[in-house]
């Protein structure tokens, strides 16, 4: 294990606290963009669901409920493990921090695997617009709109999740391995944690949009 | 050198409790999907999602604490969404012929695979 180093602030900052605050503002500014990005996507969903409620309910019945539910539990749990890793970083518990980050990456990979299985089942169920799609009774051609939303929304979410896995792996393989994450300055890990939890937030909204419609 | 531990990071218990609460809320949300609540189902489900998201924002994304510039940034994101949804819905709800009639009846056209 490398010796911990007390990092010096970058030249433009008076101290590490100011540097950390700026980094946090940076991730929040980025997340405002992300909020509007996913917000516009979810608005199109609301709009079409209000326009064609019966057809959307019929189409959504084919969504794989168990996969969406398992993935929600996985993501919520990964938000917890990420925050426990940051906790450990703040307390200088290096081994604990690494352990929680590895668990977080494992949960992220588990999400991606479940999503992959779900996509396979979707393909078997012929709900892939423009590639392999068969409209089921009650859906009409509008059912295809639901599935376009499904693939775009879950695909974009998966890209964000894979980015998050990459960021956590980077933290493990670079700053943490070099002993740059210390109780004096662990903002880089905190910024990655905020991003990771945002990916969780997006799934918490996509879940009722996709998986809970038309079940009764 | 003494290590100064951030007091907000010292105790894992609030995060574990929040995690349990979020999973219980997920269970309630899932349960309501099968109760035949009609219009109330999405209202309850999205209401639960809003509570879960607020919990994540406040605790896991560390907005809890004294008001700061990052809180202002987070709130501004919410207001941008409000503008987006509000102005868009005002537009669509004032259009003639909205909501539209579904273009194909439930008797269905069926596309062959690969078409």
C-alpha span between B62 and B8 (Å, rounded): 9
**Across-strand partners of A127?**
A133
Task: List Cβ neighbours of A113 (8 Å cut-off, separation of 6 or more).
Answer: none
Q: Please report the pLDDT score of residue B101 as a whole number.
A: 72
Give the separation between CA A150 and CA A154, rounded to whole angstroms.
6
| All residues at 6 or more sequence positions from A37 whose CB lies less than 8 Å from its CB, including other chains | none
- Position A201 scores a pLDDT of 98
CB contact under 8 A, A29 and B98: no
The arithmetic mean of pLDDT across residues A118-134, rounded, is: 95
Residue with tokens 């879940």: A207
pLDDT band at A205 (very low <50, low <70, confident <90, very high): very high
In this predicted model, what pLDDT tens digit does every residue of B26-46 receive, in sequence order? 999 999 999 989 889 999 999
Residues 111-140 of A with CB under 8 A from B: 126, 131-140
Residue A185's region, left for phi above 0, alpha for psi from -120 to 50, else beta, is beta
H/E segment holding residue A128 = strand A127-128
Instruction: Look at the alpha carbons of A76, A78, A80, A83 in this order and tell me if their dihedral is positive or negative.
Output: negative
Smallest CA–CA distance, residue A126 to chain B, in Å, is 7
Chain B residues inside the 8 Å CB shell of A28 = 70, 73-74, 77
Q: How far apart are CA A193 and CA A165, in angstroms?
A: 11
Determine the residue among A27, A57, A65, A87 to mutate to test chain B binding: the one whose Cβ has the most chain B Cβ atoms within 10 Å: A87
Q: Is A66 on the interface with B (CB under 8 A)?
A: no
Asked if residue A171 lies in contact with residue A181, where contact means CB atoms within 8 angstroms, the answer is yes
| pLDDT at A2 (0 to 100) | 54
The answer to whether A76 faces chain B, any CB pair under 8 Å, is yes
**Helix (H), strand (E) at residue A133:** strand A132-133
Is the per-residue pLDDT at A141 higher than 90? no
pLDDT > 90 fraction of chain A, expressed in percent and rounded:
87
Q: Quote the pLDDT of residue B7.
A: 61
- Output A50-54 pairs: Cβ under 8 A, ≥24 positions apart: A50/B99, A51/B98, A51/B99, A51/B100, A52/A140, A52/A142, A52/A145, A52/B99, A52/B100, A52/B102, A54/A138, A54/B102, A54/B106
ipTM above 0.95, yes or no: no
Question: Average pLDDT over chain A, rounded to whole?
Answer: 94
Residues of chain B contacting residue A194, judged by C-beta atoms under 8 Å apart:
61-62
In chain A, positions 144-203, which contact chain B (CB-CB < 8 Å)? Answer: 183-184, 190, 193-194, 197-198, 200-201
Q: Has residue A4 got a pLDDT over 60?
A: no
Burial string for B17-55 (b: 16+ CB within 10 Å, else e) reads: ebbeebeebbeebbebbeeeeeeebbebbbebbeebbeb
Residue (of A63, A51, A75, A213) closest to A151 by Cα position: A63
Nearest by CB: A77 against B19, B74, B92: B19
Partner B contacted by A78 (CB < 8 A): no
Mean pLDDT for A94-115 is 98
* Tokens, residue B19: 């995690």
Count, residues in chain A: 216
Interchain CB distance below 8 Å, A28 and B70 = yes
B31: nearest CA partner in chain A: A212
- Rounded Cα distance, A211 and A66, in Å: 9
In the structure, what pLDDT confidence band is assigned to residue A135 with cuts at 50, 70 and 90? confident
Contact A199, A157 (CB under 8 A): yes
Interface with B, mutate which of A90, A139, A196 (most B CBs under 10 A): A90
Residue A33, min C-alpha distance to chain B (Å): 8
Distance CA A207, CA A123 (A): 20
Per-residue pLDDT of chain B (115 residues; tens, 9 = 90+): 334 556 656 689 999 999 999 999 999 999 999 998 988 999 999 999 999 999 999 999 988 877 788 899 999 999 999 999 999 999 988 988 888 776 654 444 445 454 4
* Per-residue pLDDT at B65: 75
Least confident of A109-113, A125-129, A132-136, B4-8: B4-8
Q: What is the pLDDT of residue A155?
A: 98
Is residue B12 within 8 A of residue A87, CB to CB? The reply is: yes
A73 to chain B, minimum CA–CA distance in Å? 7
Tokens of B42: 């999405």
Residue B99's pLDDT is what? 80
B81 to A39: CB separation less than 8 angstroms, yes or no: yes
Please give the helix or strand (H or E) that residue A127 lies within, else none: strand A127-128
């Amino acid at each position: 294990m490398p010796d911990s180093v007390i990092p010096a602030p970058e030249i433009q900052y008076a101290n590490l606290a100011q540097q950390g605050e700026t980094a946090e503002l940076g991730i929040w500014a980025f997340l405002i963009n992300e909020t509007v990005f996913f917000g516009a996507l979810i608005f199109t969903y609301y709009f079409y669901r209000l326009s064609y409620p019966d057809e959307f309910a019929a189409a959504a019945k084919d969504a794989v409920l168990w996969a969406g539910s398992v993935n929600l539990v996985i993501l919520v749990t990964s938000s917890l493990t990420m925050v426990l890793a940051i906790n450990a970083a703040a307390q200088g518990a290096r081994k604990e921090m690494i352990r929680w980050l590895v668990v977080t990456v494992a949960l992220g990979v588990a999400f991606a695997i479940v999503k992959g299985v779900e996509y396979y089942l979707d393909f078997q169920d012929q709900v892939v617009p423009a590639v392999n799609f068969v409209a089921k009774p009650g859906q009409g051609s509008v059912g295809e709109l639901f599935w376009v939303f499904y693939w775009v929304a879950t695909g974009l979410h998966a890209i964000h999740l894979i980015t998050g896995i990459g960021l956590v792996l980077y933290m493990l393989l670079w700053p943490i391995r070099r002993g740059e994450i210390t109780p004096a300055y662990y903002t880089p890990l905190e910024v990655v944690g905020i991003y990771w939890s945002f990916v969780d937030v997006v799934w918490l909204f996509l879940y009722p949009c996709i998986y809970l419609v038309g079940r009764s | 050198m003494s290590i100064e531990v951030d007091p907000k990071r010292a105790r894992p218990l609030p995060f574990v409790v929040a995690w349990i609460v979020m999973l219980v809320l997920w269970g309630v949300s899932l349960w309501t999907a099968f109760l035949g609540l009609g219009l109330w189902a999405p209202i309850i489900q999205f209401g639960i999602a809003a509570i879960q998201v607020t919990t994540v924002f406040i605790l896991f994304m560390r907005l809890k604490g004294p008001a700061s510039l990052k809180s202002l940034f987070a709130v501004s994101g919410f207001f941008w969404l409000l503008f987006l949804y509000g102005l868009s819905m005002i537009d669509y709800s004032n259009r003639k012929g909205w909501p539209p009639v579904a273009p194909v009846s439930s008797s269905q056209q069926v596309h062959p695979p690969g078409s």
